[in-house]
């Protein structure tokens, strides 16, 4: 029993001590007897009861405030609902009045509605033309803004265009029509191919083409200025553009591209097409090899032609001369008979035949290479054609036949390699025939004179 009392005392003491430290942050007075402990516990209960009362009072106050706020919110919602109903009634009334007013407006306008439609259509069409026209860089953007504003006003169909607006519309349309038949020189901004902007003298030929410094220009609607074409047409056309820029009197010959809504469509299509060199590059690896082989064959032909022509000239000169020299094939062969006058005819023929065999490689040389190229080039072109068709069928398998551009690369490779193969083979065949004919002519002249020399020796011995 005493142990139980002691345990209760220690537990109570620990709780009171902890409570005192937590509340006051200071060290509490330690009770010295059970009576003091009882007082401490009593004071703690009193403090807890007071705190609970304070919290309950605060909660009641907050609850009253929330009830008042809820009541105010309900009153505000009721007020807004009444206001919404009032505005809805007013909107319906105004809508009914608007229907009546629109009907009255249509009755009063009558045939003027057609004028609104015509003006809106004409201004929209004119604005679309003028935005893309090459005259825009000369006449400025103000007319486009005017057309846009007038078109919006006419589309509303409420207010008629003023006399000034109609006259301005007529003026702009007439000015664009007149520009189609004018050749005008003026200063304007030109965007170069590297992105720089320069002020240049340009010549506008109607509303078809614009040229400057021997180059055709195009109009960039986004930047409102002329721009150099990325690729110019053939030189015979650009030379004419220089003539019209510097010409003081007319007529001057000039190439005009009138295609398209505002001209220049054909020119833009032509310059976007690849050049001959660009087409050759579409042949891929096989096309590159064919071009290299063709170039080497051409160089070989030039060298062999020059060498054979020199040999032929020296042989012909020796044939017409009574003095034998060692600087040509015929002279070296005939000199054998002159140096060995005691040899019989058979021995002489054998010696000259031996010398002819020595001279033959020099005369015929590398003619066989040209012959091989003329045969192999079409086969390589066919090989490239097969590669291109394989690529084409691969694209068809992957993407189908809906987009022709996916097949264009393979078909281009197939056709270009065939073209390159024939382009190499056909000239090489003529090259081989040329050098082979010269070689045979030289060898024929040598054999003819050597046989004649042997015949003379045979007649002399008889």
Average pLDDT over residues 351-376: 85
- Spatial distance between the Cα atoms of 411 and 357, rounded to a whole number of angstroms: 50
Residues 155 and 243 in one domain: yes
Query: Sorting pLDDT into bands at 50, 70 and 90, what band is 193?
Result: confident
Question: Which residue among 227, 246, 272 closes a domain?
Answer: 272
278 within domain boundaries: no
Check residue 9 and give its pLDDT. Answer: 47
pTM: 0.50
Specify the pLDDT at position 48.
Answer: 59
> Confidence class of residue 11 from pLDDT cuts 50, 70 and 90?
very low
% of the chain exceeding 70 in pLDDT? 75
One domain, residues 242 and 316: no
234 and 172 in a single domain? The answer is yes
Domain extent, residue 17, equals 2-60
Task: Quickly state the pLDDT bin for 21 (edges 50, 70, 90).
Answer: very low
Q: Is residue 402 part of a domain?
A: yes
Whether residue 294 is found in the same domain as residue 427: yes
Residue 234 has pLDDT above 50, yes or no: yes
The yes-or-no verdict on residue 12 having pLDDT over 90 is: no
Separation of first and last alpha carbons in the chain: 173
What does the pLDDT read at residue 399? 78
pLDDT on residue 375: 92
Residue 455: per-residue pLDDT = 73
Name which residue leads in pLDDT, 18 or 309.
309
Claim to verify: residue 320 and residue 428 sit in the same structural domain: yes
pLDDT at 6 over 70: no
| Domain total in the chain | 3
Q: What is the pLDDT of residue 202?
A: 87
pLDDT tens digits along 245-260: 666 666 777 777 766 5
Question: Do the domain assignments include residue 41?
Answer: yes
In the predicted structure, residue 239 carries a pLDDT above the cut 60? yes
Do 205 and 130 belong to one domain? yes
3-state secondary structure of 71: helix
410 plus 446 within the same structural domain? yes
Query: Does residue 273 have a pLDDT over 80?
Result: no
Mean pLDDT of the chain: 78
Residue 83 lies in a domain: no
Residue 126 has pLDDT above 70, yes or no: yes
Residue after which a domain boundary falls, among 272, 300, 332? 272
Higher pLDDT, 293 or 240: 293
Q: Is the pLDDT of residue 23 over 50?
A: no
Distance of CA 294 to the CA centre of its chain: 32
User: Which among 218, 249, 272 is the end of a domain?
Assistant: 272
Any domain includes 321: yes
Average pLDDT over residues 368-395: 89
Looking at mean pLDDT, say which of 55-59, 131-135, 431-435 comes out highest.
Answer: 431-435
Residue 43, number of CB atoms within 10 A of its CB? 13
Q: What average pLDDT does this structure show over 373-391?
A: 89
For residues 244 and 253, what is the distance between their CA atoms, to the nearest angstrom?
A: 7
With respect to residue 10, please indicate whether it lies within any of the assigned structural domains: yes
> Do 26 and 130 share a domain, yes or no?
no
- How many whole angstroms separate alpha carbon 348 and alpha carbon 334? 10
Contact status, residue 219 vs residue 200, Cβ threshold 8 Å = no
Residue 101 lies in a domain: no
Q: What is the pLDDT of residue 401?
A: 74
Paired tokens of 241: 């553009």
Task: Name residue, tokens 């059970």.
Answer: 34
Instruction: For residues 301-320, give the mean pLDDT.
Output: 86
Q: Are residues 307 and 180 in the same domain?
A: no
Tracing tokens 């030929």 back to the chain, one arrives at 205
Which pLDDT score is estimated for 98? Answer: 86
Residue 145 shares a structural domain with residue 42: no
Please determine, for residue 19, whether its predicted confidence score (pLDDT) is greater than 60. Answer: no
Q: Give the Å distances, CA to CA, from 257 to 126, 175, 219, 356, 444.
A: 22, 21, 14, 66, 60
In-domain check, residue 31: yes
More confident residue, 396 or 94: 94
Residue 389: pLDDT band (50, 70, 90) is confident
Residue 173 · residue 126 · CB < 8 Å: yes
CA dist., res. 18 & res. 440, Å (int): 129
d(CA 281, CA 275): 10
Highest mean pLDDT among 6-20, 104-118, 154-168: 154-168
Q: Are residues 192 and 228 in the same domain?
A: yes
Residue 189's φ and ψ, nearest 5 degrees, are -80, 135
How many CB atoms are closer than 10 A to CB 204?
24
| Same structural domain, 305 and 232 | no
């Amino acid at each position: 029993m005493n142990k139980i009392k002691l345990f209760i005392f220690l537990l109570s003491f620990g709780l009171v001590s902890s409570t005192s430290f937590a509340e006051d942050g200071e060290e509490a007075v330690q009770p010295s007897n059970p009576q003091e402990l009882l007082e401490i516990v009593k004071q703690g209960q009193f403090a807890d009861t007071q705190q609970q009362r304070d919290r309950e009072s605060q909660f009641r106050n907050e609850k009253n405030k929330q009830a008042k706020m809820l009541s105010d919110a309900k009153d505000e919602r009721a007020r807004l609902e009444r206001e919404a109903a009032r505005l809805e009634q007013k909107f319906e009334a105004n809508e009914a009045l608007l229907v009546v007013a629109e009907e009255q407006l249509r009755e009063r306008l009558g045939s003027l509605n057609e004028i609104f439609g015509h003006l809106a259509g004409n201004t929209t069409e004119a604005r679309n033309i003028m935005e893309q026209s090459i005259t825009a860089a000369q006449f400025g953007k103000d007319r486009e803004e005017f057309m846009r504003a007038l078109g919006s006003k006419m589309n509303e169909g409420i207010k008629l265009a003023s006399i000034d607006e109609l006259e301005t519309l007529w003026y702009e349309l007439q000015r664009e029509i007149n520009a189609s038949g004018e050749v005008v020189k003026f200063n304007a901004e030109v965007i170069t191919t590297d992105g720089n902007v320069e002020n240049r003298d340009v010549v506008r030929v109607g509303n078809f083409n614009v040229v400057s410094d021997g180059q055709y220009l195009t109009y960039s609607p986004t930047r409102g200025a002329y721009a150099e074409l990325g690729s110019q047409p053939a030189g015979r056309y650009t030379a004419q553009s220089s003539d019209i820029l510097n010409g003081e009197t007319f007529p001057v010959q000039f190439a005009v591209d009138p295609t398209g809504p505002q001209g220049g469509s054909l020119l833009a299509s032509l310059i976007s097409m690849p050049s001959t060199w660009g087409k050759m590059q579409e042949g891929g690896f096989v096309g590159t090899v064919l071009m290299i082989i063709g170039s080497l064959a051409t160089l070989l032909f030039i060298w062999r032609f020059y060498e054979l022509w020199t040999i032929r000239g020296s042989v012909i000169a020796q044939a017409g001369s009574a003095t034998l020299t060692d600087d040509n094939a015929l002279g070296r062969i005939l000199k054998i008979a002159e140096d060995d006058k005691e040899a019989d005819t058979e021995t002489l023929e054998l010696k000259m035949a031996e010398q002819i065999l020595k001279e033959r490689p020099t005369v015929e040389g590398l003619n066989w290479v040209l012959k091989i190229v003329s045969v192999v080039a079409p086969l390589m072109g066919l090989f490239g054609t097969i590669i291109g068709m394989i690529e084409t069928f691969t694209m068809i398998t992957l993407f189908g036949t809906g987009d022709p551009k996916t097949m264009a690369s393979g078909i281009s490779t197939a056709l270009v390699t065939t073209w390159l193969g024939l382009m190499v083979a056909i000239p090489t065949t003529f090259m081989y025939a040329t050098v082979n004919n010269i070689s045979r002519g030289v060898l024929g002249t040598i054999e003819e004179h050597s046989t004649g020399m042997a015949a003379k020796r045979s007649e002399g011995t008889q």
